Amino acid sequence: MSAGGNIIALSGGVGGAKLALGLAACLGPAQLAIVANTADDFEHLGLSICPDLDTVMYTLAGLADPERGWGLAGETWQCMDALAALGGEDWFRLGDRDLATHLQRSLLLARGEGLAAVTARLCASLGVRHTLIPMSEQRVRTVLDTDRGELAFQTYFVRERCAPRVQAIRYLGADAAVPSAALLARLDGADGVIICPSNPWLSVDPILAVGDLRARIAASRAVAVSPIVGGRALKGPAAALMEQLGLTPSALEVARHYRGLLRGFVMDREDAAQADAVRALGMDVLVTDTVMTDAASKARLAAEVLEFLSGLRA
């Protein structure tokens, strides 16, 4: 069975979106579905904000800001500045053009459309041809138990800049949530599942926690790309979070975290010394350059991951 026919990628925000873009360069629109974490979604200023969906959508549309790592390139901030002058909440920066996405999504949701349909509509408007699917139509919300009390994800991540020490992470609503219908349809007969280099605890685990998704993915041919390279997270708080959870930040620990779920694990050359320990966990290993700095390195890594996947036992 070729790995090219029906691939599902699981993604959080920036790091995941990079590999998703690489995969989109390798696979046709019918061959790839990207499933984004929605447990970071929140209601803010009366709007429905879906940071990971939007990061993937903007990245696939070629509209993402390459420097800042979130939001739209060439964005302006007139509304946020005016909101600050009115005493409004401006800790979560919404650009003027980005605001249109939240306004339109919020309006369509309020009219009764589901998040998957709204996402498909927004993607079509922006010229995104590959399928982007929210992990679930139901509300799942990441909550962190910290030394400063229970914090909603965006409060911890953006307002408090990951400063509170995390003691535990919960995905409220995940048990009762159902995977998106489009995802379930794809998973039946999927040729492979690729877990993008996103934060395992904050971006991937919420997806796996939805209903019986973990078991379904474990039964498929799944690989993950380590978001930890040389003991550091390429983006975001993954390494710091691992330390707070009592774990050594390493590709090996990430592989241990995914034990029982994966057939294969992709790690950076910098971490090659850990490859045997990962193999001992029962996974095939691909050691390669995993740091994606441009379009070419994204497509190259994606192609290598797809080839690795197609070579795994079915």
Contact positions vs its own copies (CB under 8 A) = 45-47, 75-76, 78-83, 85-88, 95-101, 103-104, 106-107, 110, 121-122, 125-126
Integer-rounded Cα radius of gyration of the chain:
19
Q: 10 Å Cβ neighbour count for 79? A: 17
Q: Following DSSP, what letter does each residue of 60-108 receive, concatenated?
A: HTT-B-TTTSSSBTT---HHHHHHHHTT---SS---HHHHHHHHHHHHH
Q: How far is the CB of 97 from its own copies (least distance, A)?
A: 4
Residue closer to its own copies by CB (options 117, 240) is 117
Indicate the SS3 state at residue 86.
coil
What are the CA-CA distances from residue 31 to residues 9, 34, 62, 188, 287 (Å)?
11, 10, 19, 14, 25
Residue closer to its own copies by CB (options 45, 162) is 45
Question: The tokens 């401006």 sit on which residue?
Answer: 90
Residue closer to its own copies by CB (options 45, 312) is 45
Residue closer to its own copies by CB (options 46, 246) is 46
Contact 223, 38 (CB under 8 A): no
d(CA 223, CA 290): 14
Q: How far is the CB of 127 from its own copies (least distance, A)?
A: 10
Quote the DSSP letter at residue 157: I
Q: 10 Å Cβ neighbour count for 207? A: 29
Q: How far is the CB of 78 from its own copies (least distance, A)?
A: 4
Q: How far is the CB of 175 from its own copies (least distance, A)?
A: 29
Q: How far is the CB of 95 from its own copies (least distance, A)?
A: 8
Residue closer to its own copies by CB (options 114, 164) is 114
Residue closer to its own copies by CB (options 6, 48) is 48
Q: How far is the CB of 124 from its own copies (least distance, A)?
A: 9
